[in-house]
Amino acid sequence: MRPSFTLGIEEEYQTIDPVTRDLRSHIATEMLAKGKVRLEERVKAEMHQSVIEVGTRICKNIQEAQQDLFDLRRNMISLAEEHGLVLVAGATHPFADWQMQEIYPDPRYAQVVEDLQLVARSNLIFGLHVHVGIEDREAAIRIMNSLRYFLPHILALSTNSPFWMGLETGYKSYRAKVFEHFPRTNLPDSFASYSEFESYVNLLIKTNCIDNAKKIWWDIRPHPFFETVEVRICDIPLSAKESIAIAALIQATACKLWHLHSGNVDFRQYSRALLMENKFRAVRYGLDGKLIDFGKQTEVPVRDLIIEYLAFVDDVLDELGSREEIGYIHTMLERGSGADRQLKVFRETGDLKAVVDYMAAETRAGL
């Protein structure tokens, strides 16, 4: 049976002091409480108090997802302003010090900090997570296995974290480097079946490694409680339009792979060791780098590979009704990623506060 390919999108935002441009905890105010009144379960706290997370409803297509995500961003921008704060979409803050940030008072986060210590406290990062509805669990595992190949391409498009604690890191996604300090992160191995994945999870629970499968923080996973495949590799992009284009690309990739699998055609599987080489290149160089084309055994510029990638999914776009939304990826390739644009502002101004101002303007762009 064909999966629904529904969409759910989660974004994590920074709450910024408009004077210092530094991160400021929002929990001390009533921002989160007011957000829950207005947006119900679509807004929630994250581990650090200067992080606020939103999630769309289950959306049947990309247009519904766009409407919901734009509405969430608009509401959160207004809510932040009411509390004397500025909302920013960036995967790291250009100069904030994680040591100054408070942890949200919640037993779940207290346990994560107890388990992971400094690694948890320093995890001051902001991501984009995209859920695609794939109800059959075996199909979800097959699609996850194949989709791993495309994750470095998707990450390169989303890169938006070139700075960390006031330093230019040399990475387009420093968020990815911070997060890999956690256990059970990065790209997963492939699994022969859903039962093999379940056996892995059950062993970790039995041996007190985790209490549930939500503590598996891979770049892609079958969600433990929803009938979705969740792609978690992305930096949160600056603009909502970029998030929508990336979500549409993830949905289209899942749909294309399902069609291949249901026709008894598989997309070639590569080892995690090889795929991690491409992930590192995406993290380091973003859209300006080269990824390895493992079939041809050669390096290819990322932009060229993404054009090839768009051609690969083209025949499912009309079925999904997402041609216009995915078309925005061409604009993203021309403009550069959020990381490229942040670096451009810094080159021009030499001022990280000007970078924060630019990020704030882009966060509200097009809403």
∠ CA 230-209-131, rounded to 5°: 5
Q: Which residues of the chain carry a pLDDT beneath 70?
A: 26-30, 45-49, 98, 100, 103-105, 109-110, 112-113, 116
pLDDT at residue 78 in the model? 93
Residue 28: its pLDDT value, please? 46
Helix (H, G, I), strand (E, B) or coil at 256: helix
140 and 273 in contact (C-beta within 8 Å)?
no
Question: In the prediction, which pLDDT does 112 show?
Answer: 67
| Total residue length of the chain | 367
Bridge partners (DSSP) of residue 228 are 133
The backbone torsions φ and ψ at residue 163, rounded to the nearest 5 degrees and listed phi first, read -115, 155
Whole-prediction pTM: 0.95
Phi, psi of 51 (to 5 degrees): -115, 130
Q: Which of 11, 12, 47, 51 is nearest to 31 (CA)?
A: 51
| Average pLDDT score, the chain | 92
Report whether 158 contacts 234 (CB < 8 A).
yes
Q: How far is CA 200 from the centre of its chain?
A: 24
Q: Which structural domains are found in the chain, ordered by start?
A: 7-363 (3.30.590.20)
Question: In this structure, are residues 234 and 89 in contact, taking their beta carbons and an 8 Å threshold?
Answer: no
Q: What is the pLDDT, as a whole number, of residue 97?
A: 82
- Say if residues 320 and 251 touch (Cβ distance below 8 Å): yes
